[in-house]
Amino acid sequence: MKNDSVEIIGGGLAGCEAALQLAERGVKVRLIEAKPLWRSPAHKSDGLAEIVCSNSFKSTVPTTASGTLKNELNMLGCKLLKIAEECKVPAGSALAVDRDEFSARVTEAVEREKNIRVVNAVADSIDTAAMTVVCAGPVCHEKLVDALTSLTGEGALAFYDAAAPIVTADSIDMDRAFFGARYGKGGDDYLNCPMNKAEYIEFYDALVSAERVVDEIGGVFEGCMPVEVMAARGVDALRYGPLRPVGFRDAGAPYAVLQLRRENTASTLYNLVGFQTNLKFGEQKRVFSLIPALKNAEYVRYGVMHRNTFIDAPKIIDADLRLKKCGNVFIAGQLSGVEGYVESIATGLLAAVNVSRLLEGKDTVVPPKETVLGALCGYISTPNVDFQPMNANFGILPPIDGAKKERKQLYYDRSDEAMKRFVSGL
Ligand SMILES: Cc1cc2nc3c(=O)[nH]c(=O)nc-3n(C[C@H](O)[C@H](O)[C@H](O)COP(=O)(O)OP(=O)(O)OC[C@H]3O[C@@H](n4cnc5c(N)ncnc54)[C@H](O)[C@@H]3O)c2cc1C
């Protein structure tokens, strides 16, 4: 057993996974959790690993990116996914959990571990002399935001109150879309999705009557109006806003035009410009599919409207999740620039693997870019002028040739092989 002690800030999904992984490797851990002394507006209970919103860990189907990531995590010996399996509730092909049981079981597993000491305190500083994993989540305490800012420099942290959906390029109907910018300014920067009057009215009616997520953490998105709220101001409000049809003289005078903007340099992902939304995920798919070019669109991220704090990852961490400025400090979970429960767990796991390797005098590692976890690490550490958090999705993997249907299986098979090689080399 080693005597080294590692500090983990935040006993959420990433923090608990990291703590359990390190404890298993014989590393002593001080897990600092602010609850019950302080609770973020999103957290309601005092348990560790609290799931703040949907109880779904998304698909288990191997030919989805989320299913592929789960397969990778199982190969890496993920602790929280195993606990999730033990308290799952029926949810078709998704892994959904009883959130109270999940939190209780994770808390029990952490408390049972003799190498972990849970300390209830609001961390307001980062000890750069110690080995530290910061995973205080997207609604972390402001004092820690200040501590991170002073460690990494101004502008290293970002916040959003709203995010627009992102779709895969190959799911867009290119026969119903065209490249170009309004008034020809910007070449082919945008992919435009036109609607005629009948299509627009059908879309509009569906949008204003669609089901919204109840705003439980209130008052967080004054600066950025959801598209459905703007639409409710009048039938033409969007046609004077994000859907204005002007500047496309050669495109057959469309009645309304949604613009899509490239999300990554490989142009495999596009975001819906100005479509930050608070609609339920299923409703986003239903309503936005009424835009002809998006009829069969696949969403890698749905629009969300809640406070989210994340680091400007490409500027301040490397793919192994270490701060460029301070190699003792790792950032994991949603704060690192990934988005989602499973993605947060995954980065907690990787941070623990790397902390443990450093303590053993070994180099840090990053899974191959053909794996979803490796691709996520690559994405968050690649220069990006408008960096936004990223979900697991096949659009961030190196492209693969083949028919669309087979391609997903190929992504899975390639990841499976790459992760097997990675695990055997650890
Ligand atoms: C409102 C909301 C809804 C979301 N809905 C979904 C969803 O439906 N599906 C999905 O996949 N993802 C969702 N996410 C995104 C993300 O997956 C979750 O936030 C996830 O819990 C992130 O895991 P984490 O470990 O990074 O942070 P968390 O699980 O939030 O854990 C962070 C922990 O750190 C503690 N903490 C904070 N500051 C300090 C401090 N200074 N000192 C000590 N402890 C501190 C907190 O109390 C918390 O326990 C949502 C996020 C938010 C904010």
Short-list 388, 330, 338, CA closest to 356: 330
Q: Which atom of ligand 1 is nearest to the CA of 35?
A: 47
CATH of the domain at 106: 3.50.50.60
- N-terminal to C-terminal alpha carbon distance within the chain: 19
Contact (Cβ atoms closer than 8 angstroms) between residue 377 and residue 320: yes
Please tell me if the CB atom of residue 310 comes closer than 6 angstroms to any atom of ligand 1: no
**How far, in Å, from the CA of 3 to the mean position of ligand 1?**
30
| Same-domain status, 179 and 73 | no
Question: Checking DSSP bridges between strand 190-195 and strand 256-262, what pairing results, if any?
Answer: antiparallel
| Same-domain status, 140 and 48 | yes
Mean pLDDT value of segment 183-211: 91
Ligand 1: which residue has its CA nearest to atom 35?
A: 10
Mean pLDDT value of segment 201-208: 97
Please tell me if the CB atom of residue 52 comes closer than 6 angstroms to any atom of ligand 1: yes
Q: Tell me what pLDDT residue 195 has.
A: 97
| Pocket-testing residue among 21, 44, 52, 380, ligand 1, by greatest number of atoms within 8 A of Cβ | 52
Please tell me if the CB atom of residue 378 comes closer than 6 angstroms to any atom of ligand 1: no
| Same-domain status, 226 and 83 | no
Please tell me if the CB atom of residue 14 comes closer than 6 angstroms to any atom of ligand 1: yes
Short-list 345, 301, 334, CA closest to 138: 334
Which amino acid type is present at position 209? S
Please tell me if the CB atom of residue 37 comes closer than 6 angstroms to any atom of ligand 1: no
Please tell me if the CB atom of residue 30 comes closer than 6 angstroms to any atom of ligand 1: no
Q: Tell me what pLDDT residue 223 has.
A: 46
| Same-domain status, 182 and 150 | no
**How many domains is the chain built from?**
2
**How far, in Å, from the CA of 262 to the mean position of ligand 1?**
28
| Same-domain status, 319 and 403 | yes
Q: Tell me what pLDDT residue 84 has.
A: 96
Q: Tell me what pLDDT residue 2 has.
A: 41
Last residue of a domain, one of 252, 282, 301: 301
Distance CA 99, CA 55 (A): 6
Please tell me if the CB atom of residue 33 comes closer than 6 angstroms to any atom of ligand 1: yes
| Same-domain status, 274 and 369 | no
| Same-domain status, 294 and 153 | no
**How far, in Å, from the CA of 140 to the mean position of ligand 1?**
8
| Same-domain status, 24 and 112 | yes
Distance CA 8, CA 333 (A): 12
Short-list 197, 201, 301, 309, CA closest to 245: 197
| Pocket-testing residue among 17, 32, 33, ligand 1, by greatest number of atoms within 8 A of Cβ | 33
Model confidence over 314-323: pLDDT tens digits?
999 999 999 9
Model confidence over 69-111: pLDDT tens digits?
999 999 999 999 999 999 888 877 889 888 889 999 999 999 9
Last residue of a domain, one of 301, 324, 339: 301
Q: Which of the four pLDDT bands, split at 50, 70 and 90, describes residue 172?
A: very high
- What token pair was written down for 94? 């998704």
**How far, in Å, from the CA of 416 to the mean position of ligand 1?**
28
- What token pair was written down for 251? 């495109």
| Same-domain status, 171 and 318 | no
Please tell me if the CB atom of residue 231 comes closer than 6 angstroms to any atom of ligand 1: no
Would you say residue 16 has pLDDT above 90?
yes
Question: Checking DSSP bridges between strand 131-134 and strand 166-168, what pairing results, if any?
Answer: unpaired
Short-list 35, 78, 1, 66, CA closest to 359: 1
Range of the structural domain that residue 266 is part of:
166-301
**How far, in Å, from the CA of 259 to the mean position of ligand 1?**
31
Model confidence over 364-417: pLDDT tens digits?
999 999 999 999 999 999 998 878 889 999 999 999 887 777 889 999 999 999
CATH of the domain at 207: 2.40.30
Please tell me if the CB atom of residue 135 comes closer than 6 angstroms to any atom of ligand 1: yes
| Same-domain status, 314 and 398 | yes
Ligand 1: which residue has its CA nearest to atom 5?
A: 53
| Pocket-testing residue among 70, 103, 132, 140, ligand 1, by greatest number of atoms within 8 A of Cβ | 140
Please tell me if the CB atom of residue 306 comes closer than 6 angstroms to any atom of ligand 1: yes
For the chain, the three-class secondary structure string (H helix, E strand, C coil) is CCCCEEEEECCCHHHHHHHHHHHHCCCEEEEEECCCCCCCCCCCCCCCCCCCCCCEEEECCCCCHHHHHHHHHHHCCCHHHHHHHHCEECCCCEEEECHHHHHHHHHHHHHHCCCEEEEECCCCCCCCCCEEEECCCCCCCHHHHHHHHHHHCCCCEEEECCECCEEEHHHCCHHHCEECCHHHCCCCCEEEEEECHHHHHHHHHHHHHCCECCCCCCCCCCCCCCHHHHHCCCCCCHHHCCCCCCCCHHHCCCCEEEEEEECCCCCCEEEECCCCCCECHHHHHHHHCCCHHHCCCCEEECCECCCEEEECHHHHECCCCEECCCCCEEECHHHHCECCHHHHHHHHHHHHHHHHHHHCCCCCCCCCCCCHHHHHHHHHCCCCCCCCCECCCHHHCCCCCCCHHHHHHHHHHHHHHHHHHHHHHC
Please tell me if the CB atom of residue 35 comes closer than 6 angstroms to any atom of ligand 1: yes
Q: Tell me what pLDDT residue 85 has.
A: 95
| Same-domain status, 413 and 323 | yes
| Same-domain status, 119 and 188 | no
Last residue of a domain, one of 282, 301, 320: 301
Q: Which atom of ligand 1 is nearest to the CA of 342?
A: 11
Return the axis-axis angle of helices 372-380 and 341-359, rounded to nearest 10°.
Answer: 80
Please tell me if the CB atom of residue 145 comes closer than 6 angstroms to any atom of ligand 1: no
Q: Tell me what pLDDT residue 106 has.
A: 98
